[in-house]
A and B are shown apart, each in its own frame.
Chain A
Amino acid sequence: MEELILELKEGIIDVLNLEGMTPADIDENAPLFGEGLGLDSIDALELIVLMDKNYGIKLANAEQGKEIFKSVRVMAEYIQANRTK
């Protein structure tokens, strides 16, 4: 799980162009949206692409993403349970 969390943090920094951030800057238990990393709706859509591209998980809509993108840890748990690649 910890390896997956690190991989996810690196992926998020890369696809969301979080300039100057390192995986250590992201608290895996903190909210990704709002007060957390300050991500917005376009970032959420890009995370849906990341889930599909890297883990073969297709999310139908952004609403579904709201639950899964609560934190990096929640994301990692969902990926571990549902990944197809």
Chain B
Amino acid sequence: MIYSIGDSIISPLAMTSHGNFEAVLRGESRLQYYEHAFGLPEPSFLSLFDEERLDQAFSALWDCGTAGYTRMEKAAIIAASQAIREANIAADRDNVIFILSTTKGNVDLLENNPYEPERVYLWRSAQLIAEFFDNPNTPVVVSNACISGCAAQITAANLLRHDGYKYAVVIGAETLSKFIVSGFQSFKALSKERCKPFDANRCGLNLGEAAAAIVYTIDEDDILLPDNTMILRAGAINNDANHISGPSRTGEGLLRSIRKVSDGHDLSRLAFINAHGTATLYNDDMESVAVNRAGLQDTPVNSMKGYFGHTLGAAGVLETILSHQAIKHHTILKTLGTEQPGTTQSLNVSLQTQPTNGNTFLKLISGFGGSNAALLMENHISNITTNDSSSTETRLAAFPQQEKPTISVISECQINDDTVVLNGKTIVTRGAQCDSWLADIYHAIGMQYPKFFKMDNLCKAGTLAAELLLKDVNFDRETVKPDWAVVLMNQASSLDDDRHYQATIQDADSYYPSPAIFVYTLANIVTGEIAIRHKIGGESSFYVLPALPPDLMQKTMNQCFAANPELTHIICGWVDYDEGKCDVRMFLYQSVES
């Protein structure tokens, strides 16, 4: 059983989990109108940290000043520190792993970096955060766009189950910047007023800053837990295989995730669904379709975005903690900002704070790259029988403890700056007059996919490798395959494209933020492009690490198969593009039973 032993939320509203819950109960929000936030020409409606308050909280932990850490790192450290203190664990032990969920980390340093150059890399922030607590392990960064916070909790469960750790410190942290806000503005996705999740007149999302942390641990299922412990019952990630920025109109990926976490669980005590509820037209419509298709249209649904805005990499962690705070106080929180619900299919939107006797909730989240995630969370009450008719084995379906499946490598592909090697054989060599190496590979292998030329270099590299991995494989290319997954990792995340985007906003005189470039400033878009091209509808995940240890790929692939018994194939590997250097090592794995 995976359960929480400590948590913390720090936000512009309050600096503890309970403080945030009480503020939300009072209907408070720090979302406000800014005429020129971060020097931007367009107005925005944001929830921003009070710098002084953040520095005061950080100074209470660290008496060497606040200059050595960025705003995002300080927020992450404060949240982690509170959660670790509540958990009462020794974070400096090697049985503790740190997992950082963030989409853009310190991307604002691309404009002005007073720190060391590598500080813009997500792995470096994670390293500094783990080092703050003297933790000896290499931290994992989950960078899966907006689902990162839930994906990080699923990663924690997998590492606790399959990698021998006793504790996982999951931190979601995001601070805003000109980079992030201008990008969402270029997408015409932001509302200039308070967002209205699921409202008929919703007109876009608000962005917010926050950090939140949960310390998860693992024990035998029959352990006696204190009442009001938050248990992570099940988690699932699925890709729509539809579009890199637009949600599926049919809610396919989210529906698959809901069904997977619900499988074998009695949902009669489901108190509510905490949806993503961003207040964009398409996200909220998509969620309404998925929830209805899952038969949960009568279950109360709420969204936290009216209180905090969309806190990106922090959202999944923050909203899980806050939903647990609510359920342990027998409360369903109201959806702030919503007046008249109106989505493609009707939902039971929680318009007022209301009581509940339920003890489980669903957390839903979706994001760019076609990714969706669902978590089934339970508030443990010792005198309640869960009325769960399923066996223990079934109840663990979404976090199964199975024998390691037998895996075979179907194909492998390496791309560097000079050669493309497929299954040990060099198939393309860089020519002397090469202007565009990745385009040359595209032409050399006879690929026909015009969308390739719209991609950033990271996606091009990953897409080429996937094309080659599947070149001679006989598989269904026409229908979405929930039993296929794509799990990738790298060092530089999307930094190559981040730099290109930064160039479009750097100078006030030529300020034209490009949506077509911004959409690729998320590392997991490469998993989405591969999922779309090959109709892969199972898990899609992206991790960022300082380097690729020899056994990590194998371990990641084993964990993915073990956590998702339905999988028959996984495209797994390292795909990096940074400073003009290409480094791809990707594999197609097959479960032998399949």
B245 contacts across to A, CB distance below 8 A: 41-42
Contact, CB under 8 Å: A49 / B512? yes
Closest to B517 in A: A46
Nearest residue (CB) in A for B455 is A17
User: Contacts of A15 on B, CB cut-off 8 Å?
Assistant: 516
Asked if A30 lies at the interface with its beta carbon under 8 angstroms from chain B, I say: no
Roughly how many angstroms separate A20 CA and B519 CA in the complex, as a whole number? 23
B513 sits at the interface (CB 8 A): yes
Closest to A62 in B: B188
CB-based contact A45/B186 at 8 Å: yes
Q: How far is the CA of A29 from the CA of B484 in the complex (A)?
A: 42
- Expressed in whole angstroms, the Cα–Cα distance for A51 and B424 within the complex equals 49
Verify A41–B246 contact, CB threshold 8 A: yes
**CA separation between A16 and B450, bound complex, in Å?**
11
For the complex, is B259 an interface residue (Cβ under 8 Å from A)?
Answer: no
Q: Give B212-253 as 1s and 0s: 1 = Cβ < 8 Å from A's Cβ atoms.
A: 000000000000000000000000000000011110000000
Check if A45 sits within 8 Å of B515, measured CB to CB: yes
User: In the complex, A48→B245 CA distance in Å?
Assistant: 17
Contact indicator B516/A46 (Cβ below 8 Å): yes
Cα distance A52–B453 in the bound complex, in angstroms: 23
**A19 pairs with B516, CB closer than 8 A:** no
Residues in A whose Cβ lies below 8 Å from that of B243: 40-41
A62: B residues at CB distance < 8 A: 188
- A20 contacts which chain B residues (CB < 8 A)? 450
Q: Which B residues are in CB contact (< 8 Å) with A45?
A: 186-188, 515-516
B555 interface contact, C-beta 8 A:
no
Check B348 for interface membership: any CB of A closer than 8 A: no
Q: Chain A residues near B246: list those with CB within 8 A.
A: 40-41
Judged by DSSP, the binding face of B is: loop
Mask: chain A, 1-28; 1 = CB below 8 Å from B; 0 = not: 0000000000000011111100000000
A53 contacts chain B at the CB level, 8 A cutoff: yes
A17 touches B454 (CB 8 A): yes
Shortest beta-carbon distance from A22 to chain B in Å? 14
Q: Fill in one digit per residue for B502-520: 1 if any A CB lies within 8 Å of its CB, else 0.
A: 0000000000111110010
Contact A52 B188 (CB under 8 A): no
Q: Nearest-CB distance from B97 to chain A (Å)?
A: 36
B450 in complex: contacting residue of A18, A41, A48, A61, CB < 8 Å: A18
Determine how close the nearest CB of chain A comes to the CB of B31; give it in whole angstroms. Answer: 21
Q: A83 to chain B: closest CB distance in Å?
A: 16
Chain A interface SS verdict (over half)? helix
B64: shortest Cβ distance to chain A, in Å?
44
Output the least CB separation between B490 and chain A (Å). Answer: 23
Minimum CB distance partner of A61 in chain B: B188
CB <8 Å contact, B516 and A42: yes
Flag if B512 contacts A53 (CB, 8 Å). Answer: yes
Residues of B within 8 A of A41 (CB): 243, 245-246
Asked if B512 and A42 make an inter-chain contact with CB atoms under 8 angstroms apart, the answer reads no
Contact of A49 (CB < 8 Å), options: B450, B452, B453, B515: B515
Measured between beta carbons, the chain A residues less than 8 angstroms from B188 are: 45, 48, 61-62
A16 touches B516 (CB 8 A): yes
Q: A53-B512, A61-B188 are in contact. Are A42 and B453 (CB under 8 A)?
A: no
Distance (whole angstroms) from the CB of A13 to the closest CB of chain B = 11
CB of A34 to closest CB in B, whole Å: 15
Please, which residues of chain A bring their CB within 8 A of the CB of B244? 42
Nearest residue, chain A, Cβ from B512? A53
Taking CB atoms, residues of chain B closer than 8 Å to A16 are 454, 516
Nearest CB in chain B: distance from A76 CB, A: 20
Interface centre among A18, A41, A42 (most CB of B within 10 A): A42
The residues of A that contact B450 with a CB separation of less than 8 Å are 18-20
Report the Cα distance A16→B453, complex, angstroms.
9
Q: Nearest Cβ distance between residue B544 and chain A, in whole angstroms?
A: 24
Contact code string A54-78 (vs B, CB < 8 Å = 1, else 0): 0000000110000000000000000
Contact (Cβ within 8 A) B512 A43: no
Residue in A closest to B243 when the chains form the complex, CB atoms:
A40
- For B186, B187, B454, the residue with the greatest tally of chain A CB atoms inside 10 Å of its CB is B454
A9 to B450, CA, bound (A): 17
With A40-B243, A41-B246, A61-B188 known as contacts, the answer to whether A46 contacts B453 (CB < 8 A) is no
The chain A residue sitting closest to B513, CB to CB, is A49
Most chain A CB within 10 A, of B188, B243, B244, is at B188
- Whether A42 and B519, one on each chain, are in contact in the complex, defined by CB atoms closer than 8 angstroms, is yes
**Contact A18 B453, beta carbon cutoff 8 Å:** yes
The answer to whether B453 and A19 have CB atoms under 8 Å apart is yes
**B454 in contact with A52 (CB, 8 Å):** no
Most chain B CB within 10 A, of A15, A49, A53, A62, is at: A49
A-B residue pairs in contact (CB < 8 Å), sample of 8: A16-B516, A41-B245, A41-B246, A42-B454, A45-B187, A49-B514, A52-B512, A62-B188
Which B residues lie at the A interface, using CB under 8 A?
Answer: 186-188, 243-246, 450, 452-454, 512-516, 519
Task: Given A42-B454, A49-B513, output 10 extra A-B contacts at Cβ < 8 Å.
Answer: A17-B453, A42-B245, A42-B516, A45-B186, A45-B187, A45-B516, A46-B515, A46-B516, A49-B512, A49-B515
